Amino acid sequence: MAEGKIKRVTDKGFGFIETDSGSDMFFHSSALEGVNYDDLREGQLVSYNVGSGPKGPRAENVQLLED
């Protein structure tokens, strides 16, 4: 699994993860595991799998690494 940091969460149910390469990875609230979308905060560390969505790469199976 890849790791990154929550860069941005929106009020529309999606956000972006800052990856190790410095690029941003899209994620949707439906891709979260073991955490509620409303509990996410910018700067939290997460692990995820890279998947493919209709608009390109996206994070799947997103899990918090620390609170």
Query: pLDDT per residue over 13-32, tens digit each?
Result: 999 999 988 889 999 999 99
What is the rounded distance in angstroms from the CA atom of residue 3 to the CA atom of residue 63?
9
For residue 6, the enclosing domain spans 2-64
pTM flag (> 0.95): no
Other C-beta atoms closer than 10 Å to the C-beta of 28 total: 16
User: At 48, which CATH number?
Assistant: 2.40.50.140
- The number of distinct structural domains making up the chain is 1
The mean pLDDT of 38-64, rounded to a whole number, is 95
